[in-house]
Amino acid sequence: MPLSYTLAYTLGVTLAAVLIDAVVGDPAFVWRRLPHPAALIGRLIAALDRNLNHGAALRVKGIATAMVVVVVAGAIGVAITVLLAPYAWGALVEAVLMSILIAQRSLLQHFQAIAAPLLRGETDGARHALAQIVGRDVSVLDDAGIARASIESLAENASDGVVAPIFWAALFGLPGILIYKAVNTADSMIGHRDERYEEFGWASARLDDLLNLIPARLTGVLICIAAHFTPEASVRGAFAVLRRDARKHASPNAGFPEAAAAGALGLRLGGPRVYDGARDDAPWMGDGRTEATVGDMTAAGKLALATFILVGMLLLILWLSLSR
């Protein structure tokens, strides 16, 4: 089978998955009855954590854990793809399965769940909604801090939850997106720099950094381009802050989408925050206001939506060019 056909097929299935997620999202009623794939991956990682994260050679055990997670996720993806291959409707089922692991619609819904109570002046409700998606201490945040933190989270998750899984799906299909999601889940569960996970979670954290290396930078550029289609945003500001401030972030990847969003919206993002009662004096990205508003959140939502549309258009163009 020609490589161009295989790539065209994978791109077509990925494009279908993106469209399904955009329309359907992540229906809660399904996951009240069935375990979400991310939850199943989490159970595997938790079991490995319980059984291996003690005693000596923790880094070696952590490397083994990361390898097991990758192999299991990849093997499941390959097995499902092979089983579906003979059937005409197999591509649709594959697209549906892939759409479950893309978070564009649910990400925007979570973001709106923070903005809505903030718009009504319900600060506690906004804090509660924000706490569902960030690890920092939200109790110390005022309205401006809540708005700023939610925009930062939206920008970072535009990469981790949308662009990165689509990127790996477009290259390697269902196995690619499953491996990415498994590694990303492992990083969120055990990739912490604390006494328990410093050694054991090292491999998962580094592997997640590697898998996000290209997608995070691609997301930053896409946000800059999307600013052209967002009336409240600045293309010039986005590119300028992206180039200057992206590497200020403690993460090798998260700074790229966050810096681009900061420049596009005329904000300063990042900065000091509190985790478990300890202050983290993170550097600022951007030259604008620190006092973010609900209006800035609305603009950020439009910017994210434009970014996701650009991703879909890019997939469509690539698919059409290979399908000739």
Give tens-digit pLDDT for 168-224.
Answer: 999 999 999 999 999 999 999 999 888 899 999 999 999 999 999 999 999 999 999
CA dist 88 and 96 (Å) reads: 14
Residue with tokens 């490397």: 63
For residue 1, is pLDDT > 60? no
Give tens-digit pLDDT for 64-98.
Answer: 999 999 999 999 999 999 999 999 899 999 999 99
Give tens-digit pLDDT for 126-140.
Answer: 999 999 888 888 888
Q: Please, which residues bridge with residue 284 across strands?
A: 270
Which range marks the domain in which residue 303 is found?
3-322
Q: How many domains does the chain fold into?
A: 1
